[in-house]
Structure 1
Amino acid sequence: MDDITNRKIISKKIEKGEPIKLSFHYVNEKVLMILNSILAKILSKQDQIFLLNSVITILREIIINALKANAKRIFFLKNNIDINSETQYRKGMKQFKEDVVGEFESIEKDLRRSDFYVHITFNVDSDTIHIAVTNNSPILPVELERINFRIQKAIAYNDFSEAYAEIEDDSEGAGLGIVLTILLMKSMGIEPENYKITPEGKITRSSLTIPSLLKPTEITTKVKKKIMDEIDGIPTFPENIVQLQRLCNDPESSIDQIVKRLKIDPALSSDVIKLSNSAGIAPYKRIEDIKTAVVTIGMKNLNAILVASNARRILNERYSSFELIWEHCNRVAFYTRNIALSFRKTAIIENVYMAGLLHDLGKIILLATDKKLVRTIADIVNNRKITTTTLEEISVGISHSTIGALISNKWNFPDYLIEAIKHHHAPLNSSGKYREIVQIIYLANILAGIEDRKYSYYYIEESILERFNLFDIDKFKAFHEKLKLKYENTKLV
């Protein structure tokens, strides 16, 4: 068994694709957080990070069920109740529910001192994720019958409340965990037969399989075609932007030439000034006019801002505006620039800044491709300014990172930018040439995600934390707080 507290060894195993085997008698929030972090890293590597919250919920339910089964055996033994007697079983379950279910901490000491355990194995085989949870309390026929009944009922329904009304079972609690598991699997496009509970002598095994292809090929092909058609219909950069980029890259160009061409497009000039202020290039100084902006930020930064500004304008003109996504990108871009400065990566500052501004391009396309889908999900979350694409990604089985890479190719973005957009959730999948850029984008994005309570420090790849000397959690928090404060102060200028 692997040491559950040794995050470095566990991360190395994930990186190498080796199985991870853990064992415990009881779980607290710290153990659950470690399990969450393992899932986050495995799913990121598989480009399925959008499944994280659903899979976390399922895994917790499976673990709690295994622990509850162990606790039940301990409770019956402690109270001299014969678990194999139908009469005594019913009586014992009534008492177990009153004394333990809902007050699970009351049996923690007994579980920790007992010989009952829970083993969990994570394994990735041919792009398929296998999770197995075993506990050494053999399942009874009556328990297995009840579980299979719940599974079959859950398969028949898509509505949680309807399923709940049909299968509520007071003998051992409502049994909603299994219902929730099946319904979540169906929403992710995972067939219910990928979840199994099987007796193996004195062992009970619960297994969950997550295939790399979530939806039938014919469905994903249609969705990809629709997205590709959408991308094909997006205009390329106008000639004015192309000319400005050439001027930025020409050492013979003068600032006056560039400013003159920028002034032809007042909206573009306004965007350049706005992004120049948000970049934090000139802290505590408010840039008010286009010439000051060009002089202050320099040609390389101007080129990055031109690309980002035009990409945003094309998407916002074609679709509705997604201010909160762009605000997130501004924050990430600011963080990338400051991370690069903090670690003396001055040669790639402009590259990481541009990647930060554009890393979530795919979210806009994904949210805009099927307006009916967006409206439906907006109703679900009761928030018309959608910032998350988790439900959309689950519904189509394609990540926004992949979609972002497609549009990046369409616009002939440089290779480093395509790589950063494609792998900003999975830095270990990046090639060596652009790995440093991708790592900075990944760290900046996850810092912003922590602020939105999407991620945790424990979800971060240990190799990235070590690379930036942030493995110590207090040091990490101090660094994050410094970036946050600097960004907020920049916004106030």
Structure 2
Amino acid sequence: MLGQKDRTEIRKCVRSGTPYSVTTATLPHETELQLEEILSLFLEEIGRGQLKDSLGYCLRELAVNAKKANTKRVYFTSLGLDISNPGDYTKGMQTFKRDTLGNIQHYLPMMDEQGYYIRISFTMKGTTLVISIANNTEMTQKEQIRVFDRIARSRAYNSLQEAMEQAIDESEGAGLGIIILVLMLRKIGLSEEAFELDVENGETVVRLSIPLEETKQGNLETIAREIVNEVDSLPQFPENIAQLQRLLQDPKIDLQTIARKVSTDPALTADLLKIVNSAQYMLPKRIDNILEAVKLIGLRGVQNLVYSYGSIEVLDKDTPRIQQLWSHSYRTAFFAYQLAKSSGRREILDDAYVGGILHDIGKILFSTSHEPLMQRISDFCTERKLPISLLEELAAGFNHSEVGAMIAEKWNFPQPLIHAIRFQHAPEQAPPRYYEVTAAVYLANAACEYETGSLPYVFIDQEILNDYGIGSETELQAHLARMSSEFSKESV
């Protein structure tokens, strides 16, 4: 049974998008029961509690298959067989089920001794729950063909009974299980696309993706939009910033006019000069002339400075929590810029930097909100018969990226920044033209969370890591050491 501390931690993970994982060598029965409890809690949080039994079966099936895959490696090793050799594979599978089914206790200690593991994780990616089951053995080509054959076969069946009446190859023992799993996903309204199989970094990883219940998602969006509409303290940027925004949208505007307008705001001027004299530009001498600074960063650079500066002016409050969020945002921005620069993505440098600064404005909004606002939103929920618990979830950080994107839309931010905020936890869902900047912000944020120990390396998107030339945890640590050192120099 999960304790209250575990339950609280799980709910926190749901709302923050942080993975919750369990790692086991042998998948004992107690761990299976624990996994069912965790699944139940996650499903309740996303309004999908009624799927507990069906998805519980799917989770058990996939976890047992991962255990079986590891057992198979131990068994083949004990016989002196090479599982990747087609001839050895055929020979070993003739006796695998018979020998291990009745004598599994003989092989379990060997799995632990030889370092095999199964890792089951639950992660909210935006409004989708992703359940991942990984074991540290790569499937052979023959095993992959067998699994995909079962998935293809499942398309021909209309019911579980029909599938069970068909002859299934018993040597693997999992053939029918995969077919039942796909049919069960179909029965609860999910297509086979909700099931994904990958072999990556020495692991076989199976993922199930379950979207947030539509009614709950709609209610969350309704409350979030009402919050953004109701926040009296941020109806607009400060007037001087709004004027500068309008000037920057004029295609005929000249740099001298922009420089004069910037010079009327001492704090904005200080930020501009700080940027141009930073390590980003590596100038041979210090620049103190505003017009020179504007020429150096260009209109696009000034525009991005205005968005970040304006947001900070509106949302900044002198509280420990707010300062912590802004500190994280500045670090994320610096990392996003450095990652884009070192990988040759110069066309997204400015957007990656500003996207990093602004990616948490949804969280910051709730941290700056006062009691009268929350009472108005609470009254709104009551009037619309919306669950008050949804407001609490938003305040705790759940779906904060959507709230932040709504704020960005209200303030007429450019599309790259809106999408970088909205899809910061799931870059693959961003429109293709905004994927690069969103991925840079995602990776920078993930690197910051890895640095603090809140996000293990295995939960960082491997495809994005590879895109940035980071092929191992050691390489990520090297990047972090370099970027952290440079950031420290910037902060002095």
In which range does the TM-score fall when normalised by the shorter chain? 0.5 to 0.7
Match of 1:453 in 2: 453
Q: Does the C-alpha gap of structure 1 residues 129 and 461 become closer, same or farther in structure 2, counting only changes over 3 Å?
A: closer
Task: Give the letter for the 1:66 counterpart.
Answer: E
- Cross-structure match for 2:323: 323
Identify which of 15, 21, 29 aligns with 1:56.
Answer: 21
The answer to whether structure 1 residue 419 and structure 2 residue 419 are counterparts is: yes
TM-superposition CA deviations, 1:69-113 (whole Å, max 9, x none): 9xxxxxxxxxxxxxxxxxxxxxxxxxxxxxxxxxxxxx9847748
Matched, 1:399 2:363: no
Partner of 1:469: 469
Contact 1:280 1:334 in 2 (8 A): no
> Do the aligned partners of residues 266 and 121 (structure 1) sit closer, same or farther apart at CA in structure 2, a change above 3 Å counting?
closer
Q: Using a 3 Å threshold, how does the CA distance of structure 1 residues 285 and 50 change in structure 2: closer, same or farther?
A: farther
Decide whether aligned partners of structure 1 residues 279 and 372 sit closer, same or farther in structure 2, where only a CA change above 3 A counts. farther
Normalising to structure 2: TM-score of the pair? 0.52
Deviation at 1:225, TM superposition (A): 5.9
> CA 1:423–1:130 in structure 2 vs 1: closer, same or farther (change >3 Å)?
closer
The match for 1:313 is 313
Cα displacement (A) at 1:238: 4.4
Change in Cα spacing, 1:311 to 1:247, as seen in structure 2 (3 Å) is: same
2:30 matched to which residue of 1?
66
Q: Does 1:262 align with 2:262?
A: yes
What corresponds to 1:182 in structure 2? none
Given that 2:362 and 2:404 are in contact with CA atoms closer than 8 Å, whether structure 1 keeps it comes out as yes
Query: Is the 1:355–1:441 contact (alpha carbons within 8 Å) kept by the matching residues of 2?
Result: yes
Q: 1:420–1:441: 8 Å Cα contact kept in structure 2?
A: yes
In structure 1, distance between residues paired with 2:249 and 2:209: 51
Q: CA deviation at 1:329?
A: 1.8
Residues 49 and 398 from structure 1, CA distance in 2 versus in 1: closer, same or farther, beyond 3 angstroms? closer
Q: Please give the per-residue CA displacement for 1:394-425, whole angstroms capped at 9, x wherever unaligned.
A: 76673210110110111111221111000111
Q: Does 1:346 align with 2:346?
A: yes
Is the 1:278–1:334 Cα contact (8 Å) retained in structure 2? no
Say whether residues 1:297 and 2:297 are aligned partners: yes
8 Å CA contact 1:230–1:369 kept in 2: the answer is: no
For residues 314 and 295 of structure 1, the distance between their equivalents in structure 2, rounded to whole angstroms, comes to 27
**Superposition deviation, residue 434 in structure 1:** 0.8
1:366–1:403 Cα contact (<8 Å) kept: no
The farther-off stretch of 240-249 and 337-346 is: 240-249
Structure-2 change in CA distance of 1:344 and 1:420 (3 Å): same
Residue identity opposite 1:331 in structure 2: R
Residue 283 of structure 1 and its aligned partner are, at CA, apart by: 6.4
Alignment partners' CA distance in 2, 1:435 and 1:218: 25
Give RMSD over aligned pairs.
4.8
Cα distance in 1, alignment partners of residues 276 and 456 from structure 2: 30
Q: Which residue of 2 aligns with 1:434?
A: 434
Question: 1:359: which partner in 2?
Answer: 359
Q: Distance in 2 between the 1:317 and 1:66 partners?
A: 47
After superposition, give the CA deviation of every residue in 1:428-462 in whole Å (9 maximum; x if it has no partner): 21121211111111111111222222213221111
Identity %: 29
Kept in 1: contact 2:416–2:434 (CA 8 A): yes
Task: Check whether the contact 2:15–2:393 (CA below 8 A) recurs between aligned residues.
Answer: no
User: What is residue 176 of structure 2 aligned with on the other side?
Assistant: none
Number of corresponding residues: 317
Mapping 1:219-234, distance limit 5 Å: 220=220, 223-224=223-224, 227-231=227-231, 234=234
- Counterpart-to-counterpart distance in 2, 1:394 and 1:490: 34
Q: Residue 21 of structure 2 aligns to which amino acid in structure 1?
A: I
Inter-partner Cα distance in structure 2 for 1:120 and 1:295: 52
In the superposition, relative to structure 1, how do residues 403 and 225 fare at CA in structure 2: closer, same or farther (>3 Å)?
closer
Which whole-Å deviations, capped at 9, do the CAs of 1:132-183 have from their partners, x for residues lacking one? Answer: 99xxxxxxxxxxxxxxxxxxxxxxxxxxxxxxxxxxxxxxxxxxxxxxxxxx
Determine if contact 1:419/1:438 at 8 Å carries over to the other structure. Answer: yes
Partner SS state of residue 236, structure 1: coil
Q: In the aligned structure 1, how far is the partner of 2:361 from the partner of 2:121? A: 36
Distance 1:420 1:229 in 2: 21
1:341/1:211 CA distance change after superposition, 3 Å: closer
Q: Which deviations, in whole Å up to 9, do the C-alpha atoms of 1:295-332 show, x marking residues without a partner?
A: 44333212211111011102227999822222222222
Deviation at 1:214? 11
Q: 1-side partners of 2:305 and 2:123: how far apart?
A: 43
> Which moves more between the two structures, 303-312 or 471-480?
471-480
Q: With structure 1 as the length reference, what TM-score do the two structures score?
A: 0.52
Distance 1:216 1:251 in 2: 43
Change (3 A) 1:397 1:63: farther
Report which stretch shifted further, 396-405 or 239-248: 239-248
Answer whether contact 2:333 2:357 (CA < 8 A) is retained: yes
- Is the 2:21–2:120 contact (alpha carbons within 8 Å) kept by the matching residues of 1? no
* Kept in 1: contact 2:128–2:210 (CA 8 A): no
Cα distance in structure 2, aligned partners of 1:112 and 1:297: 57
Q: Which runs of 5+ in 1 are unaligned?
A: 1-39, 70-106, 134-207, 375-390
User: Given the superposition, is the C-alpha separation of residues 278 and 403 from structure 1 closer, same or farther in structure 2, using an over 3 Å criterion?
Assistant: farther
**Aligned counterpart, 2:81:** none
Structure 2 gap segments, 5+ residues each: 1-9, 34-106, 135-207, 375-390
C-alpha deviation, 1:368, in angstroms: 2.7
Counterpart residue identity of residue 212, structure 2: S
